[in-house]
């Protein structure tokens, strides 16, 4: 099940903690990847790592998601390089945390532009070749805070909630063409950033999770691999929450 052999995928934020886990999951199932991010050196190193481990001749395409021109060129560059695009994974995102009363305009604008607007532009661009092929999988990484809210993250929560509404709307528009549009909403996931937290802070976070631990990047990768597969062809407009029970959504 979930064999992605012969399929191609564009993954944004591919060299980050969750992004690299998503890329590994897709590559392990046979997909050929276009790895995108803003750090070209990290992308090349990760590409070489994937090629050595899984083969498939993966490629890297550097893109600054705050640059509209580069965003608009990313999907066409993927199609030119890989020959097609079957799967789009909108994973990249940033945080600019602050309380609402103190939040600067640029902190709001940066998060909305990269986390929400760039995802819209990539979805719009990907739909064109996917509609011609009458097949496509669009998976966007949101967050539990898009559903629950979080103090100090009004910009981030707004962007993540916006991704869910956008995915539901697009999913209705393109379902008849064999394209599904879904979201994966991680809870607390163990990354290099959380590894350096004091033990007391980690314990406090884990106490909020019924499973008593943070998730792993592989948990998110597995969810994406499922939604990207042919077996998930009757699932669209959905958000798959992967949070260890921290927030149980109906």
Q: Residue 93 — φ and ψ, nearest 5°?
A: -170, 160
Question: Is 156 assigned a catalytic role?
Answer: yes
Say if residues 133 and 82 touch (Cβ distance below 8 Å): no
Alpha carbon 61 to its chain's center: 16
Do the beta carbons of residue 43 and residue 11 sit within 8 Å? no
Residue in 108, 156, 188, 226 annotated catalytic: 156
Catalytic annotation, residues: 156
């Amino acid at each position: 099940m979930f064999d992605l052999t012969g399929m191609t995928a564009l993954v944004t934020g591919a060299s980050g903690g969750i992004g690299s886990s998503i890329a590994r999951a897709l590559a392990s199932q046979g997909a050929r990847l276009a790895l995108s991010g803003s750090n070209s050196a990290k992308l090349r190193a990760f590409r070489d790592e994937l090629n050595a481990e899984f083969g498939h001749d993966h490629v890297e395409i550097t893109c600054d998601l705050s640059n509209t021109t580069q965003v608009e060129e990313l999907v066409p560059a993927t199609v030119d390089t890989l020959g097609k695009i079957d799967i789009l994974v909108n994973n990249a995102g940033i945080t600019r945390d602050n309380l609402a009363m103190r939040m600067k305009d640029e902190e709001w604008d940066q998060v909305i532009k990269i986390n929400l607007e760039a995802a819209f532009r990539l979805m719009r661009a990907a739909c064109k070749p996917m509609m011609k092929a009458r097949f496509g999988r669009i998976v966007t990484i949101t967050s539990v805070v898009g559903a629950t809210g979080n103090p100090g993250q009004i910009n981030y929560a707004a962007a993540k909630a916006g991704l869910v509404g956008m995915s539901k709307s697009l999913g209705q528009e393109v379902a008849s063409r064999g394209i599904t549009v879904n979201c994966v909403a991680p809870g607390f996931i163990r990354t290099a950033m959380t590894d350096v937290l004091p033990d007391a802070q980690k314990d406090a976070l884990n106490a909020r999770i019924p499973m008593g631990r943070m998730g792993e990047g592989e948990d998110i990768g597995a969810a994406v691999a499922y939604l990207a597969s042919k077996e998930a062809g009757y699932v669209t407009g959905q958000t798959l929450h992967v949070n260890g029970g921290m927030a149980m959504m109906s």
